[in-house]
Amino acid sequence: MLVVSAMGTAMGVFVLSAFDIIERLPTVQEFNTLRMSVGWPKVNEITVKAALDLSIYSVCAVADNRTVGIARVIGDGSMYFYIQDFIVQKEFQGKGIGTAIMKRIMEFLKQYAPEGSFIGLMSAKGKEGFYLKYGFTERPNDVYGAGMGFYKEDLVQVGF
Query: Between residues 49 and 124, which one has the greater pLDDT?
Result: 49
Does 14 have pLDDT greater than 70?
no
pLDDT of 159 reads 67
Segment 64-80 mean pLDDT: 97
Q: In the chain, where does DSSP find H-type helix?
A: 28-37, 45-53, 97-112, 128-132
Mean pLDDT of 9-15: 39
Q: Provide the domain limits for residue 106.
A: 2-158
Angle between helices 28-37 and 45-53 (to 10 degrees): 110
Give the pLDDT mean for 79-105.
Answer: 96
Examine the pLDDT at 154 and tell me if it is beyond 90.
no
| Contact call for residues 58 and 31 (beta carbons, < 8 A) | no
Rounded Cα distance between 79 and 71, Å, is: 19
DSSP label at residue 135: T
User: Can you give the pLDDT at residue 34?
Assistant: 98
d(CA 93, CA 69): 9
Q: What is the number of domains present in the chain?
A: 1
The predicted model scores a pTM of 0.85
Give the Cα separation of 97 and 63 in Å (integer).
10
Per-residue pLDDT at 33: 98
Q: Which DSSP letter does residue 134 get? A: T
| Strand residues in the chain grouped as ranges (E) | 2-10, 13-23, 57-63, 66-75, 80-88, 118-121
Query: What is the C-alpha to C-alpha distance for residues 114 and 56, in angstroms, rounded to an integer?
Result: 14
Please give the average per-residue pLDDT across 72-95, as a whole number.
Answer: 96
Supply the CATH number for residue 127's domain: 3.40.630.30
CB 60 within 8 A of CB 70: yes
Distance of alpha carbon 120 from its chain centroid, rounded? 12
Residue 9: predicted pLDDT = 38
φ, ψ at 32 (rounded to 5°): -70, -35
* Tens of pLDDT, residues 45-63: 999 999 999 999 999 999 9
